[in-house]
Structure 1
């Protein structure tokens, strides 16, 4: 089993006695301040469910291109269903990423006030199990994310429900990614995922099927992050960076190309978003801790739209 290169936390400690809970909160906050990444174990996300999700993902991405594109709807800006290979690029990158993906979003009752604002999920008819399995995985990842956000709020000295309330009924996204084998003649500067930061509050990343994920350290060196069975990788995104006035890092990371060009890779990041109406004005306590001028005020909805434009998923 590969050795992990980032802090590894046990979520059961957050549920345990006061001493273990305090230590967990300190470890989580310290990791997000220091490198913006940590791994978590005992997270209650079913490993068999993850394996089934990857099997179904492979089945979908092996379908003919014309069938996959039936599930691509440009009107929803890539926020549901299929997004074809080469459509997305990292902010400021001249090259599209070497990937294709599928998005699963939140499903709300028809009478919910936000139901009309979120696009409908799509379900590939060719793989009946696909949507039910991905929806179940979505629910388990969200339950884990809520606990992590509560711990994060405690670390910041805020009410425990501050951050978890921000994501209630939000348009959090599960992305199922396929990185195909590298085609001969591919420009050497093109990567499976070019250096970027995540847009959202936090990201939960199910163990990928192969290695390749790296984070950029403060010394300018790249650190490889292992795909360890049973671990979920967690990183802080731009929205948490904004809300904490930079106290918690939104760390640059990438997915490198394999040495074996014929190797496919699958991964499933869970992008935990604030509701669009949430005010991301930096918390006063974080402004005080950083000693830096407060970042400009902005809502989560405006922030997301700005970032989607920068990565090519919105006009």
Structure 2
């Protein structure tokens, strides 16, 4: 097995009831990884491997449906936030070439006390197992994400529930992605996912079915991230970078095209979002740690989300 190229953290250390030093060490390692590289791998995260495997099988069943069937779930007024987004619709922020992927978005199923009405999920009736499997995966990923956000809050010297109460009612999205085999007539500039940064607070990425993820290092080289069984990949999104005034880095990453034209790929990123009104204005403590100047604007999570959805072609 190829060794992982990014730091590997163990969530059991954070949840260790009897050893506070392990918890402190985890918080420090998490913050340092996100400040230095913007990425780390996580083990003992609580997401069942059997559920991940079943979800990928379910995803394959959906994306194998005829295009006309899938397009029934592409609802324009949802701006790609629920249901199906067809192949070539999305592009990276600074790229004119479309990404070589199609995907499905779903949000939380359980109602919250939050006054904002989130879009209802769509479910493909042609694949009846889709709803129970993906809903179960969403809940397990959200439990893990809540713990990681508590650790982020502690690293930033905020109350432990600073993020978790927000994400419990946030606009978090599970994206199920299919990267089909790359056709001979694909636009030469197109990649499976062109270089980009994530919009949200943090992203949890279930191990993909094949390699391809790479992240941009400060020296300009691209670092491949291994697809390692049992690991979840975690990275900083732009919202957390803004709030921390750049202390935690939202690192540019991409998914490169395969060497074989017959190769297909599935992945399932979980984009953790806060409530819409969450203030992304950089924390004063982070401004002090990053040189004393505010580097990011005062704006809400909703304002930033809508701006980015327009930039990537979904709104």
Secondary structure of the residue aligned to 1:117 is coil
CA contact (8 A) 2:114 2:169 kept: no
Does residue 272 of structure 1 match 2:272?
A: yes
The residue number in structure 2 matching 1:201 is 201
Deviation (angstroms), 1:108: 3.6
Q: Structure 2 matches for 1:46-61, cutoff 5 A?
A: 46-61=48-63
Q: Structure 2 matches for 1:1-315, cutoff 5 A?
A: 1-16=1-16, 17-109=19-111, 112-114=113-115, 117-294=117-294, 295-314=296-315
Unaligned runs of 5+ in 1: none
Residues of 2 paired with 1:113 and 1:173: CA distance? 16
Task: Say what the alpha-carbon RMSD is for the aligned residues.
Answer: 1.0
Residues of 2 paired with 1:11 and 1:24: CA distance? 8
Residues of 2 paired with 1:205 and 1:82: CA distance? 19
- The one-character-per-residue Cα deviations of 1:183-222 (angstroms, maximum 9, x if unpaired) are 1122222100000000000000000000000000011100
CA contact (8 A) 2:153 2:159 kept: yes
- The one-character-per-residue Cα deviations of 1:150-169 (angstroms, maximum 9, x if unpaired) are 11111111111112122121
Q: State how many pairs are aligned.
A: 312
Runs of at least 4 residues of structure 1 off by over 2 A?
111-114
Residues of 1 paired with 2:114 and 2:35: CA distance? 36
Residues of 1 paired with 2:92 and 2:100: CA distance? 11
- The one-character-per-residue Cα deviations of 1:92-132 (angstroms, maximum 9, x if unpaired) are 101010000000111243x8444x62111011111101011
**Structure 1 residues 88-97 or 155-164, which shifts more?**
155-164
Secondary structure of the residue aligned to 2:163 is helix
Residues of 2 paired with 1:86 and 1:176: CA distance? 15
Deviation (angstroms), 1:49: 0.2
